[in-house]
Each structure stands twice: as structure tokens, then as C-alpha cells.
Amino acid sequence: AQSVTQPDIHITVSEGASLELRCNYSYGATPYLFWYVQSPGQGLQLLLKYFSGDTLVQGIKGFEAEFKRSQSSFNLRKPSVHWSDAAEYFCAVGPASGGSYIPTFGRGTSLIVHP
């Protein structure tokens, strides 16, 4: 069965500092990988995705992520965090086996940004 681990429940950074959010996955083949952001009271918005090809993926809002097969990781990075980046971040892996495409989500990492 596929699974996703986001080891950090909360991350606190200062505005302007760099950011890395960790995501480890378990999947039997080359996965589809996603990062989503959820602001309070909102749904999830896709930041970036990896399906195949270049392992460094650029997304919206200045985010990037790198797929490392050897480490089963897909960490999210941003060189300089803005106060508006404070939100909940979710990593997801898909597809599932058995014919149903059902991504599995991690439990999320809450990003707190200090001025």
C-alpha cells in the first residue's frame, strides 16, 4: 500500500529565511507526487507536481521540489519565505494500484512565519 510521511507537524521560520518541508513516500513503482497548500478556511491548492522527467520541479509562488528516488523523498523548498506563505502544506502520492486513482495524503505540515 502507498503511504506518505511528513515528519514535521509544525515548522517555524523567519520571513526571508529559506524553507524546506520534508516528505517521504512509500510506493511500489515510480509515483506521481504532489504538494498542496491550504490556507485557513480554504480548500487545497496545487503548488507543484511530479509525474516523470526532470526531478527538480518548479511550482507556483516560488516553490520547488526535488524527487529523489534513492531516498523516497519529495521535499518542498523555497529560498525566501514571505509572511503570506503561512499555511498548511500537504504532500500526496498516487496513483493507487487496482485500477482506482486515489492519491494518498500526508498529515500535513503547518508553516508559521515570524516577521
CA distance 75 to 36: 12
Does position 77 interact with other proteins (CB under 8 A)? The reply is no
Cell numbers placing 1: 500500500
Q: How far is the CB of 110 from other proteins (least distance, A)?
A: 9
The closest alpha carbon to 94, from 24, 5, 30, 32, belongs to 32
Using CB under 8 A as the binding rule, whether residue 5 contacts other proteins is answered as no
Tell which one of 51, 68, 83, 114 touches other proteins (CB under 8 A). 51
Q: Judged by CB under 8 A, which of 17, 46, 60, 112 binds other proteins?
A: 46
Asked if 63 is part of the footprint of other proteins (rule: CB under 8 A), the reply reads: no
Q: 9 vs 54, which CB is nearer to other proteins?
A: 9
The answer to whether the beta carbons of residues 77 and 109 sit under 8 Å apart is no
* CA separation for the pair 41, 64 (Å, rounded): 24
CA angle 46, 98, 105 (to 5 degrees): 30
| Binding-site string for other proteins from residue 89 to residue 108, where x marks contact by CB under 8 A and - marks none | -x---xx----xxxxxxxxx
Site for other proteins, rule CB under 8 A = 32, 34, 36, 41-46, 49, 51, 90, 94-95, 100-108
